[in-house]
Amino acid sequence: MCGETGSRRGEKGLSLLSLVIAVPLLAMLLWTIGTFAISSVRNYNRFRAETELVSELNFAMERICRDLSYGEEVDINTVRLRVRTKQNTESAAYVSYTQDTASPCRPIRRNNQPLTGDSETGRVVIKEFSYRMAGLRTVEVVIAGEIGEYGLSYRLHTAVTCLNVP
C-alpha cells in the first residue's frame, strides 16, 4: 500500500469507446431478435387461421356429402337443400341445410344447428353456399369461405351421387 498514489492500476472495465461500440451492436441484435419473434408470431397466427378455415369448410362439405350419399330423396330450392336419409336410424328422416344470411359469419346450418361459424374464433365467413342437381342422382355443392383479416379464402366444389335415389 505504500507506493499507491490514488490511481488504481490493474483494474479492468469498459472504456467509453467500448460502450459506444457495444450499445448500438446490442440494440441491433435485440431489434433483429424482436423482428424475428414478431414475424414468427404473425406467421403462426396466419397458419392457424388458414388451418381453421380449411378444417371448417372440409367438415361442412364432408357432412353434406355423407348425407347426400345415403339420401333416398333430394329436394332442392333456393332457400334450402333437403335430403331424406336413413343413415344411422331405422326410420327415414329429413335433413335440411340452409345458410343463415342474417348472421355476420353467414353460417351453414344443418337442421338449424350451426355446421360452420362455430369455431373457437368465429372468424370464418361463408361467402358462398350453393347446390344444384347435376343429373338425376347427382348433386353439385359449392362452399366458399374467408377470413378477411388475413386475406385468406378457400373454396370447395364437388359433385355427389346419391346412391339410394331411384
Please give the average per-residue pLDDT across 15-22, as a whole number.
85
Q: How confident is the model at residue 129 (pLDDT cuts 50, 70, 90)?
A: very high
Q: What is the pLDDT of residue 163?
A: 82
CB 132 within 8 A of CB 76: yes
Q: How confident is the model at residue 115 (pLDDT cuts 50, 70, 90)?
A: confident
Which pTM value belongs to this model?
Answer: 0.77
Q: What is the pLDDT of residue 155?
A: 96
For β-strands 113-114 and 108-110, DSSP reports them as: antiparallel
Residue among 107, 127, 112 at smallest CA distance from 59: 107
38-45 long-range contacts (CB < 8 A, ≥24 apart) are 45/150
